């Protein structure tokens, strides 16, 4: 049975088959419409319900499976590019409540922040009056019609997205656990590194040219904050760096930013996170963490 499954996965991972397999999810809606037309709307709705149950089952299985098998299962849910966009969108939209909940709980894990020198607050304050003014002007010009309210909703969404992206480095700090570390660069870039796979960690600041947050250099992936990286990791096994709109990158050399690089190196090499300071987490953070689990089930690191 295992050999048969491995053979099926190998066939599905072939380049030509893979291109077709990644679009298999688009068959659900047409199939439901056909069933609804032939047998009635109840059966069509049943197909959609069964597909939703399939999504849940596949998401759980994909979360527990790694490698090519997990990749095959995740393609049943959504195209990889769409998964990457959905994951980044969810992170941006939850950045503000996550940041507020973290500040309310006074969580602080030394070495995990990297927002020093960034200007997210200034960026948000600079563009917020522009978005609000445009929203008010459009609402008045359209005399409060339905289109005006729809545009108001779009402007509200733009404000949430603006502040979520601007404050992303503050909301999504690195996390170091007992077995793995989740290293971030704002809401867009994420990599999960098993602590056992870290062959070496060095605190060394290096400037990165331009405003790019992800740079590939000599086989290494640099996740830069404010044009800098501070900690360099050498890994014994490749890790996947998630990024929006494109396929994940695989690397054995990783560089990230940190406001306290020496402390972060100590945590990564020591194999255990330092305890959090402050009160217990409020209810909001577990809810947001559950949303993160759903995001990772769509495309785990």
Report which of 13, 7, 3, 5 is spatially closest to residue 68, judged by C-alpha positions.
Answer: 13
Rounded CA-CA distance 148/154 in Å is 10
Whether pLDDT at 203 is above 90: yes
Rounded CA-CA distance 136/284 in Å is 32
Q: pLDDT for 16-61, tens place per residue? A: 665 665 666 566 556 666 766 666 555 556 666 666 666 566 555 5
Q: Which two tokens stand for residue 296?
A: 């990772």
Q: What is the DSSP letter of 300?
A: -
Whether pLDDT at 275 is above 50: no
Confidence of residue 278 (pLDDT cuts 50, 70, 90): very low
Of the two residues 15 and 196, the one the predictor is more confident about is 196
8 A C-beta contact, residue 263 and residue 110: yes
Q: pLDDT for 80-94, tens place per residue? A: 677 777 778 888 888
Q: pLDDT for 144-177, tens place per residue? A: 888 999 999 999 999 999 999 888 888 888 988 8
Question: 227-236: b or e for each residue (b if 16 or more CB lie within 10 Å)?
Answer: ebbbbbbebe
Whether pLDDT at 274 is above 50: no
Confidence of residue 300 (pLDDT cuts 50, 70, 90): very low
Q: Say which residue the tokens 């949430």 belong to.
A: 160
Report which of 158, 162, 160, 155 is spatially closest to residue 136, judged by C-alpha positions.
Answer: 155
- DSSP conformation letters of 79-122: -HHHHHHHHHHHHHHTHHHHHHHHHHHT---TT----TT--HHH
Q: What is the DSSP letter of 187?
A: B
Provide the residue ranges of all domains of the chain, joining segments of one domain with +: 2-78, 80-274
Cα end-to-end span (Å), the chain:
27
- Look over the chain and give the mean of its residue pLDDT values, rounded to a whole number: 76
Rounded CA-CA distance 183/169 in Å is 11
Q: Is this structure's pTM higher than 0.85?
A: no
User: What value does the mean pLDDT take over residues 291-298?
Assistant: 48
The pLDDT score that the predictor gives to residue 208 is 86
- Cβ atoms within 10 A of the Cβ of 89, count? 15
Report which of 165, 187, 177, 172 is spatially closest to residue 273, judged by C-alpha positions.
Answer: 177
Q: Say which residue the tokens 């002007």 belong to.
A: 137
């Amino acid at each position: 049975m295992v050999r048969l499954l491995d053979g099926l996965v190998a066939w599905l991972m072939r380049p030509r088959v893979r291109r077709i397999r990644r679009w298999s999810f688009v068959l659900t809606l047409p199939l439901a419409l056909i069933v609804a037309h032939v047998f009635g709307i109840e059966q069509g709705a049943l197909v959609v319900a069964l597909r939703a149950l399939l999504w849940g089952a596949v998401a759980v299985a994909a979360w527990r499976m790694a490698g090519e098998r997990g990749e095959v299962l995740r393609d049943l849910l959504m195209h990889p590019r769409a998964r990457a966009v959905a994951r980044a969108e969810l992170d941006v939209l939850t950045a503000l409540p996550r940041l507020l909940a973290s500040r309310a709980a006074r969580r602080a894990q030394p070495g995990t922040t990297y927002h020093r020198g960034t200007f997210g607050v200034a960026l948000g304050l600079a563009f917020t009056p522009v978005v609000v003014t445009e929203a008010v002007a459009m609402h008045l010009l359209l005399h409060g019609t339905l289109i005006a309210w729809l545009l108001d909703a779009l402007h509200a969404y733009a404000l949430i997205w603006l502040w979520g992206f601007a404050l992303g480095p503050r909301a999504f700090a690195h996390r170091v656990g007992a077995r793995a570390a989740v290293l971030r660069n704002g809401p867009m870039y994420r990599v999960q590194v098993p602590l056992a796979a870290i062959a070496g960690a060095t605190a060394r600041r290096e400037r990165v040219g331009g405003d790019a947050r992800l740079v590939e250099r000599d086989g290494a992936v640099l996740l830069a904050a404010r044009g800098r990286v501070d900690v360099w990791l050498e890994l014994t096994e490749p890790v996947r760096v998630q990024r929006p709109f494109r396929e994940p990158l695989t690397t054995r050399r990783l560089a990230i930013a940190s406001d306290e690089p020496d402390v972060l190196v100590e945590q990564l090499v020591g194999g255990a996170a330092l305890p959090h300071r402050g009160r217990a987490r409020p209810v909001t953070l577990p809810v947001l963490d559950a949303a993160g689990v759903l995001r990772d089930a769509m495309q785990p690191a």
